[in-house]
Structure 1
Amino acid sequence: MTASAPASSLPASSSAFAALHHRDEPLLLPNAWDHASAMALAAQGFAAIGTTSLGVAAAVGLPDGAAATRDLTLQLALNLGAEDFLLSVDAEGGLSEDPYRVGEFARELSAAGAVGINLEDGLGSAALHAEKIAAVKAAAPDLFVNARTDTYWLGGPRPDALAKDTMTRLDAYQQAGADGVFVPGLSDPDQIATLVTSLDVPLNVLYSPTGPTVTQLGALGVRRVSLGSLLYRRALGAAVEALADIRAGRAPRGASPSYDEVVAFGRERRRR
């Protein structure tokens, strides 16, 4: 399993989390949406777990990327922050357009036990996003800030313009204090390799089933590979497939944790 030392061998600290971005292998970061999913992923040996804003929002019928889940995101961090893994929180664009409020939210996440935060620019103002990053580093200096730009995720069709805009934004985010940068949607090996050589901080990309493997991304210089909402969406798909099998008279395919195994996730939390 890529970059996944036993959780017990790592202290729950931002320095340990940062160190996972400077190994020979990239950090493969799975993303959970609730306590049970996080515990199931940690049980597979992953030392660090992220959250997915889509999963958190969709589970309660709220839109993703609309700053609608501040309380839910903080509550999830409170639920997971004391567990035996390093927690990085997907906070959309900081769940506010006010840099001060973004900084205060980051401080609350850090106090809850999170060691990382993911902040996306949504192709809004790069200057404002840089202000948010700086506010987070001022309010929670030990929090690992993964600054995301959505140039390739939401941008136009011209690769040359995308590359220039991406680097301009990432430069601003690095200067504001970002500890790592995230470019979802970037999957071309040559473009990834070129970008890596232009950065001063670790590069994070979003895994794509049709793109390079984790090993190939590592060879290109990528230091963190996120799964985003993929596991949440796969879980929904597996539930629908299981229902279709049952309705058709077939036994459901795939593995299912037992009732007792799922109950044990909550029992572990109550013992802390």
Structure 2
Amino acid sequence: MAKRFVALGDSFTEGVGDWNPARPNGVKGWADRVARQLARQDPAWEYANLAIRSKRLRQIAAEQLEPALDLRPTLVTLYAGGNDILDLRTDVTALMQQYERFVAALAATGARVVLFTGYDLKISPLLEPFRHRHRVYNDEVRRISAAHGADLLDFWSFTAYRDPRLWEPDRMHMSTAGHRYMTARVLELLDVTYVPDLPDDDPARRGLREAVRAERQWLADWVLPMAGRKLRGVTLGDHLEPRWPEPVRPADGMKRLARARMARPAGGLSGADG
């Protein structure tokens, strides 16, 4: 019996932070890793990933929902809305109403649906005003998950992510180690055993001077460019295509599949959301 895993969303699901130039859009990510492990358990698994970095919920709904329904998934994952929370004009109530309609449409297919809360990463005092709407978002995801019979991965509660090495320098995207850990948590939910390769020593603590220097570097390298893109109305996902828009069989070898996919003409950018 055919089994099909379809991954939907933004940079979290596309794989930003788990950089790999040999994969479509230059990233690998937890969803690719999950698909490969599922195929090792059962070669019948197929996989599609429609996620693109920087997309807002309205764009994900408009661009990914119908193609996902057409693929008739047996397993579908969704993370969406995180970019909307960082937009000052977002109406969180309206956002979550649209999110629930999205989840309801997925659940109506009979597929197993997996949702994620967002992580309460204390990025910087500059972003503290967004934490309230982040909590509202997470509470609503929990409610919607229960209401529609979806599985929930409560990212908010994963204490392992207190380790800064599980995050990219932009402080918004998981590093390769973070994607490996997320792979293990998704597979655990799916009753598949997977032991991630993670840092096994304690992270070094920074002194005050180094912390101040890092904060300035973060502002210059990530915050100001993101603010500039918002002002210009552009994002790093504008010229990207879905990484795996058509189902592939991970059992055939992800490296070989990636070479075939990347042989097709496509544009691409690297970087954080925004």
What band does the TM-score fall into relative to the shorter chain? 0.3 to 0.5
Between 1 and 2, higher relative CO (CA 8 Å, sep ≥ 6) is seen in: 2
TM-score by length of 1: 0.37
